[in-house]
Each structure stands twice: as C-alpha cells, then as structure tokens.
Chain A
Amino acid sequence: MTGSSPRALTRAAGLIASVAATLFGLILVTFLIGRVVPIDPVLAIVGDRATADTYARIRSELGLDLPLWRQFLRYLVAVLQGDLGTSILTSRPVLDDVLRVFPATLELATVAVVIGAALGIPAGVLAATHRGGWLDHIIRLLGLIGHSAPIFWLGLMGLLLFYAKLDWVPGPGRVDVFYEGLVDPRTGVATIDALLAGETDVFWSALHHLVLPASILGLYSVAYIARMTRSFMLDQLRQEYITTARVKGLSEVRVVWRHALGNIAVPLITVIALSYATLLEGSVLTETVFAWPGLGLYITNSLLSADMNAVLGGTLVVGVVFIGLNLLSDLLYRLLDPRAR
C-alpha cells in the first residue's frame, strides 16, 4: 500500500457519491415533470364514462392516492429496477423500446463524432500554428457559422442539395426500402448487422444513408473541437520543450504534429467525450429530419402523441448516458494523465 491510496479512495468515494446524487436528482426531476402534466393518468386508462368506484380503484392501483413522497419512492424503486412504465403508443415496456432504438442513435452519434474529430483537430492545430493569420480567422468564422445554423435546417438543405439536386446520397431512412427487414437486427447497428450477416449490399446502402445525417451532426461538434484544440495547442507551443525540439533541428511538422499534438491527446479525449454527449442531444432534431429510427425520433413521436411514460423514460435514459459520458471523460482523464493521478 502506498501513501496515496487513502486519498484515491476518498476521491473515488466522492465521485461515486456525486454521481449517485446526480442520478437521484435526475429521477426526481423526471418524476416532478410527470406530476405537473395536465393529463389525468387515471382518466386516460378508464375513460370518461367510468363510475366513481372504478376511478378510485384505478387511482389507488396507480398509487396516486398516496402522499407525494410515497409516490416518488415507488417511482424511484421502479426506475432502479429498470421499470420505466409502459408506452401508450407501442404498449410495450418503455425500457424495451428505448433499448431497441438506442443503437441507431449510437451509430449516428459515433460516426458524427469521428467526423467532428477528423475535421476539428486538424483545423484547431492549423488555427494555432497560424495564430492571428487569415487561416485562423477563416477557421474561427467557419466555426461560428457552423454554430449559428439550426441543425434541422441544415439537414433539410442538405437533403435538398445532395439528395434532390445532386443525387449523391440517398433520402431519409436507414437503408434503401427494398433492403428493409432483410438483415436480422442482432446489434441494432445497421452497418454492423449487415456485415455480420455477410450482406455487403445492405452494408453499403446503410453506410450511404449514414453519410449525410452524420456529417451534418458532426459539423456541429467541429467548431467546439477545433476551438479547444486551438487553445490546448497554443498552451503547448509556448512551452520550453518545443523550443528545445526546434533548436535540435526537428522539422516544424514533427514538432507540431508529433510532439505538441501528442501532449494534448489526453485533454482532447475528454473534449471528444463531452462533444459526444452533446451530439446525442443534437440527434433529436437530426433524427426527425432524416426519419432516423433512434432515441430522438422515439422521444419526439411520443411527445406528439402525449405518451408521457415514453417521453420521461427516454429523457431519463438520455440523462443517464449523459452522466455516464461525463464520468467516462473524467475517468479517462485521470487514468491517462499521470499528473492527475
């Protein structure tokens, strides 16, 4: 046992406590949102011609005659057991629904974050090495533009340009219509399922369908990733080891892309994890535009049919994933950066 382990233990305990408290708050918030809904859940089940007896019986079955804190306790226990209620729209458990649609969102957000990082990191590095120059200004301006356009509008305009006018990409949906249901959804990720089934045609179709929505979603994170990369790089380029490397006669390319970029890998990973979380959110609007059958489309469809169990269940799951990604970025940082240990 080294001397640092009690500190590490306290820190881990603090982390667990903070995550638990946040989760508790999350569940409390969704519970309270569910309580202020103007829809009477009893009336929704029994209909308006039920007798007062039936009404009262259903009401007590749902636990609505209990004091608010008892109702919350019931809700808390149910949620912790994975019971998010039943969806009115699909009449299936909300958790099953969410697990079924979640891989589609994951696929979209993952490809989007890869695109965001592939464009954002080089852009940030170039902006830092050309600080104050025209390249820096252009990258900053492009970032601002990307951050100012409504993502659903970009999606529609993307469809108009690349699908209707240029015919470079297919229309909305996940695969071409005649491929739909051909592949067994083993993982729920269309591209991987197609590969697992050995259907290369379906794989290419799925990939084709992924390009436009993922690029538009990814564009959203480019600005953030580029800005953070730029500021990390500027910090590094001021350090003495960079001067040393230059004095040693290393090429500028090697100094910048190998030494400086190598040293900001850890903070960059946390930035990417954080933008992954925001992309989950952006996927709500993107999925609506591209008829992408993921969690975002599920939540909005449930909203429009006043299916509160599904809305709140979906919100809760997104919140949990959000907390999870924040925690992951925190842990990765501590694990990978020796100074943070």
Chain B
Amino acid sequence: MTRQPQSPSWRAWLTTDTPQSRAQARLGRAWAGWCAFRRNRMAMIGLLIVLALVVVAALAPLLAPHHPYDQDLANRLQPPTAGHWLGTDGFGRDILSRLIHGARLTLMIVALVALTAPVIGLVIGTVAGYRGGWVDAALMRVTDIFLAFPKLILALAFVAALGPGIENAVIAIAITSWPPYARLARAETLTIRHADFISAARLQGASGPRIVLGHIMPLCVASLVVRTTLDMAGVILTAAGLGFLGLGAQPPLPEWGAMIAAGRQNVLEQWWVAAMPGLAIFVVSLGFNLLGDGLRDVLDPKGD
C-alpha cells in the first residue's frame, strides 16, 4: 500500500477526479457513497442501532449486570427497579441481562442467514441468467415454487420436520429466503450478459464459470447487499415468530421471541416481561430497515 499523504490532503486524494490506481478509484467511490449516506439522518440512526447491536453482543458478559440464567424465585416478576432496570421474569432472572445476551443470538441468526441465503440465490440466479435455456427454465421454476409458499408457513413446516431449535430455525429461514435473491441476481445477469465486456472476456477464452464468478457476480453484489439489509428485519421477525411459537431457540436460551412467549401468561399484570423483549426486536429490526433504506438510496438510486 502506498503511504497516504497527511490530512487534509487525504480527502483530496479520495475525491480526485483523476485517480492513479484502481484502489484509489474504488476508495474514492466508497467515500462518495459514504458522504451521501452520512447526509441521510434516518440511515445514520439505523447504522448506529446495528452497530450498537454488534457492540452489545460482543461485550455481553461485561455489560450485563446479572447472569442471564441466575434464578431468584423470591424476586420473580418484579417491576423495573434500581437493581433490575427492566424488572425480572417468571424465574426471577434479570430481563435486561437476558436481553443483552439475547443480542448474541439475534446477531448470530442474522449473520448466518445473511451469509447463506443471498449466496445460494446469487449462484442460482447468475447461473440461470447466464446459461439461459432449459437450465434457466428449470432453476426459475424451482424458485417460483419456493416463492409460491408463504415464508413463515414453509419455515414452520421445515422446523416441524427437523425438530425445534435455533440451528434448525436458521436452516428453515435460509431455505425459505433465497428465492428473491435468485430472482434479483438473474435479472441483473440478464441486463449484463450481452454487454461488450462479457463478449470480450469470452473471446479471450474465459470459461463460463470464470465469467460468472469473475465478471457477473461482482456486479450483482451491490443490489444483493441492499436487498439483504432490507430483508434482515424480516429475518429477525421470522426468527422471533418461530421462537414465540416455541419452535426456535429453546429455554433457557434468552432468545427475544421466546422471552415474549414466556411473558405471555402474565402480560395483563406483569406487562414488562413480554413488553421489553418485543421492544428490543422492534428497535433492532427498525435499525435494519432504516439502514437498508439508506443503502438503497446510495447504491441503487434508480429504485425510488
């Protein structure tokens, strides 16, 4: 790496209209995107919420005032007090500590789904779009079948078959959420497969897999990232829904949806037990929605 000049000229280096290297051009593009993104106040709030989720998850044992599994039956269903900021649940466990540790589960679910479903969709969509013909027809038919199912119901059926648990919930969500990515990647592929630079690569003797991997997939990434961020709110809600129905994370894991289910019996008297985890789900999924909206404005200005 070349040494960057001292500030404030690094800004000039980034914003120059005559970049000297590919890296400089890329960083300059990223910088321009960041500048546009930064002006969007809502998107910045979203980014802060998502970053806060990551920090809380990383530092959970340090931040939590109590152990998430420590029961104290003498102090069960206590309203919020100085000792327990968000009150205690039916086993006298500190709700705040459980929420903080639950951030790890939420982040894990989001990360696993975000790393699997878009990748599956990317591969299927680009291959279908590039190959065309019967490969395209067959792959898109499969995609349509999965799209024809309501997501939550299909996830329910999968979890019913695989057995409840957080891993199976992740698998079920990933299986049900790849089709829109495949559609998107295919549409992007169709618009670029006849471009001159693809023909040039082919004439130079590049193989099909090489063109798909090296030339088509990178161009699909931007729109897939936006779509993934926007979908993460839905993933969080589906995972919480599965947890609420008792099909996701099993007790005593502090999964937010399962915590709402546990507080359901007492919701009319001890409302905080169910209200607090729901608030956490709401804030985090709002964060992803705001972030996704902002990213869409920066990366994909066509879509209103």
Query: Are B281 and A153 touching (Cβ within 8 A)?
Result: yes
Distance of A156 Cα from B282 Cα, bound (Å): 14
Query: Are A152 and B153 touching (Cβ within 8 A)?
Result: no
In the assembled complex, which residues on chain B have CB atoms less than 8 Å from the CB atom of A300?
156, 245
Query: Are B293 and A144 touching (Cβ within 8 A)?
Result: yes
Q: Closest chain B residue to A24 by CB distance?
A: B145
Known: A144-B289, A322-B148. A159 touches B156 (CB 8 A): no
A38 contacts chain B at the CB level, 8 A cutoff: yes
Residue-wise interface mask of B (265-291) relative to A, using a CB-CB cutoff of 8 A (1 in contact, 0 not): 001100100110110011001100110
B26 contacts chain A at the CB level, 8 A cutoff: no
Query: Are B293 and A150 touching (Cβ within 8 A)?
Result: no
Most buried by A among B163, B244, B289: B244
Distance of A281 Cα from B304 Cα, bound (Å): 27
Query: Are A315 and B241 touching (Cβ within 8 A)?
Result: no
A231 contacts chain B at the CB level, 8 A cutoff: yes
Query: Are B142 and A25 touching (Cβ within 8 A)?
Result: yes
Q: Which of B42, B150, B160 contacts A278 (CB 8 A)?
A: B150
A299 contacts chain B at the CB level, 8 A cutoff: yes
Binds B, one of A5-13, A28-36, A204-212: A28-36
A280 contacts chain B at the CB level, 8 A cutoff: yes
Known: A156-B278, A157-B278, A231-B304. A150 touches B240 (CB 8 A): yes
A221 contacts chain B at the CB level, 8 A cutoff: no
Known: A21-B141, A37-B161, A144-B289. A153 touches B278 (CB 8 A): yes
Query: Could you say which interface size class chain A belongs to?
Result: 35 or more
Distance of A322 Cα from B286 Cα, bound (Å): 27
Binds B, one of A71-79, A84-92, A245-253, A304-312: A304-312
Query: Are B267 and A33 touching (Cβ within 8 A)?
Result: no
In the assembled complex, which residues on chain A have CB atoms less than 8 Å from the CB atom of B289?
144, 147-148
Q: Which of B160, B260, B286 contacts A156 (CB 8 A)?
A: B260
B179 to chain A, nearest CB (A): 12
Distance of A314 Cα from B278 Cα, bound (Å): 28
Query: Are B244 and A150 touching (Cβ within 8 A)?
Result: yes
A223 to chain B, nearest CB (A): 10
Query: Are B160 and A308 touching (Cβ within 8 A)?
Result: yes
Query: Are A30 and B282 touching (Cβ within 8 A)?
Result: no
- Tell me the number of A-to-B contacts counted with CB atoms below 8 Å: 142
Distance of A278 Cα from B153 Cα, bound (Å): 11
Known: A145-B286, A150-B282, A304-B246. A311 touches B157 (CB 8 A): yes
A187 contacts chain B at the CB level, 8 A cutoff: no
A190 contacts chain B at the CB level, 8 A cutoff: no
Query: Are A29 and B149 touching (Cβ within 8 A)?
Result: yes
For window 1-47 of A, CB contacts with B under 8 Å fall at: 18, 21-22, 25-26, 28-30, 33-34, 36-38
Query: Are A160 and B156 touching (Cβ within 8 A)?
Result: no
B182 contacts chain A at the CB level, 8 A cutoff: no
B217 contacts chain A at the CB level, 8 A cutoff: no
For window 105-157 of A, CB contacts with B under 8 Å fall at: 141, 144-145, 147-153, 156-157
Query: Are A303 and B260 touching (Cβ within 8 A)?
Result: no
A222 contacts chain B at the CB level, 8 A cutoff: no
A284 contacts chain B at the CB level, 8 A cutoff: yes
B299 contacts chain A at the CB level, 8 A cutoff: no
B115 contacts chain A at the CB level, 8 A cutoff: no
Known: A148-B286, A231-B304, A300-B245. A22 touches B161 (CB 8 A): no
Query: Are A150 and B260 touching (Cβ within 8 A)?
Result: yes
Query: Are A281 and B150 touching (Cβ within 8 A)?
Result: yes
B257 contacts chain A at the CB level, 8 A cutoff: yes
Residue-wise interface mask of B (139-155) relative to A, using a CB-CB cutoff of 8 A (1 in contact, 0 not): 00110111011111110
Known: A156-B260, A322-B148. A148 touches B241 (CB 8 A): no
Q: Which of A22, A156, A299, A308 contacts B153 (CB 8 A)?
A: A299
Q: Closest chain A residue to B241 by CB distance?
A: A285
Q: Closest chain B residue to A323 by CB distance?
A: B148
Chosen A-B contacts, 13 in total, with CB atoms closer than 8 Å, are A22-B144, A30-B157, A33-B158, A145-B286, A148-B289, A150-B278, A151-B241, A153-B281, A156-B267, A284-B156, A300-B245, A312-B157, A315-B149
Beyond A18-B144, A318-B150, 10 additional pairs, beta carbon < 8 A: A22-B141, A30-B157, A33-B157, A33-B160, A150-B237, A156-B264, A234-B304, A288-B245, A315-B153, A319-B153
Closest 6 CB pairs of A and B: A25-B145, A153-B278, A281-B150, A148-B286, A148-B285, A164-B268
